[in-house]
Amino acid sequence: MKSKKIISTLLVFVMSIGLLAGCGGKNASASKPVSEAIKDSMKKSMEIKSYHGITNLSMNLTLPEALKADPRAAKISELLSNLNVSIEQNSVLEEQLSDSKIQIDANGQKFDFEMYGLPENKLAIKTPFIEEIIVIDPKEISELAKNSGTPVPTMSLNPASMEDIKPVVDLFADISEEMFKDIEPTERKTEEIEFSDGKQSLDMITYSFKSSDELLDFVQKIANNLLESEKLYDLISDEKFLELSGMPKEELPSKEEFDKELANAKEQFNSSFEMVKEEFKKSLTVNEITLKMGINEKGIMNYSSATFDVAVKQGGMEAALKMNMSSFVDKIDSVKKEDIKTIDVTDENSINAEEATQQLMPLIMGAMSGMDMPEGDSENSAEADEDSDEDSNSEETDAE
């Protein structure tokens, strides 16, 4: 049914935005109910014209020894056993200009990437693996996907301003208020956080789970609040949502049909959820999952963090994941056009996403087969590669 497709899309789309909106004297936000504070902070973020942001992620993934017999699984396990990622970005939305520096350290293998926002909703990416600049054009990707029989909507990679997505975000914000209704946080307090432009006093909202039961109860409550929302039909009827979801307007169900399917979806969800709950608890061990959202004195959610410490058991094997992520936005409306680094993109020095995939896939497959990918942080890596070409060629011949 068309309505079921819409509802499943909403469950993923709305819950993701509601939980990760940050990735996005006394604080006025602290006097509001949590659901209202989250809603208002999402709407307030639409007023941002420029910003500086930093995201840090560290991960430790431990796979079962039995899986490591596969060379690809062994390589993934090695790289993700000690992964650190750092992203720093400056953006001026009205000019469609942004620059990002991405640093990856995968268990000692270090790679630096650069990413630049270009006009016409495009991105330019410089990688350490190929000389050419990769230009990502969402319209081109959408067309390729359509021709392959898997249509996807055109993404807004580099919006001219927050106004481009404001109508949909406003609706999501209203629905988020209902999602978090009657769900009290584990902790809420005013907290001082150090940003690159000084300390800020944040209304810090924390949800923490120390067991599978706590996590599952939270997920069920969030989902039911969403499925009970009377504003969902307003959301899916919005032209911007239809554009983002890639759904033709003629497939939009009537309000009566949608409400009927929504009631069925809620009943089926809760019935299925209770059936798999016990099995899920047997396979998932939650040592800690903590989500934090910080709202500044202007009412903007400019800080978020997440901590995961979980283990999964399946078929006598166990995998463990420990991950910490933090993200903050500062220098709001202070970043100027001249602060943005640019890159010169020409037909001669650039390739599109399809061409980049053709060049990168052999490198990725080689890495997954156990060969190290080229280091990205060595200034003399190109010269070192030339000096060792003869030795490398003879070694590769032996290996083959």
Average confidence (pLDDT) per 10 residues, the chain, 400 residues: 49 46 52 89 88 96 83 83 95 88 94 90 90 87 66 53 68 84 92 90 96 91 87 78 74 87 88 84 92 94 96 87 95 94 93 88 67 47 43 43
Decide if 378 contacts 134 (C-beta within 8 A): no
Are 21 and 305 contacting, i.e. CB atoms less than 8 angstroms apart? no
Q: How far is the C-alpha of 175 from the C-alpha of 378, rounded, in Å? A: 48
Helix (H, G, I), strand (E, B) or coil at 174: helix
Q: What is the pLDDT of residue 67?
A: 77
Please state the φ and ψ torsions of residue 132, each to the nearest 5 degrees. -70, 155
Among the listed residues 293, 219, 235, the one whose alpha carbon sits nearest the alpha carbon of residue 37: 293
As a whole number of angstroms, the distance between CA 53 and CA 91 comes to 9
- Beta-carbon contacts of 289 under 8 Å, excluding residues fewer than 6 positions away, are 208, 209, 215, 306, 307, 308, 309, 310
What region does 213 belong to: left with phi over 0, alpha with psi -120 to 50, or beta?
alpha
Handedness of CA 310, 312, 317, 321 (dihedral sign): negative
Task: Look up residue 48 and give its two tokens.
Answer: 């941002």
Q: What is the pLDDT of residue 175?
A: 82
Instruction: Answer whether 135's CB lies under 8 Å from 121's CB.
Output: no
Q: How far apart are CA 171 and CA 174, in angstroms?
A: 5
Residue 168's contacts (CB-CB under 8 Å, 6 or more residues apart) are 235, 238, 240, 241, 244
Distance from C-alpha of 4 to C-alpha of 23, rounded to nearest angstrom: 28
* 284, 306 Cβ separation under 8 angstroms: no
139 contact partners, CB below 8 Å, separation of at least 6: 121, 154
The amino acid sitting at 311 is: A
CA atoms of 84 and 60, how far apart (whole Å) = 9
Answer yes or no: are the C-beta atoms of 42 and 302 closer than 8 Å.
Answer: no
Contact 100, 88 (CB under 8 A): yes
C-alpha 214/C-alpha 216 separation (Å) is 6
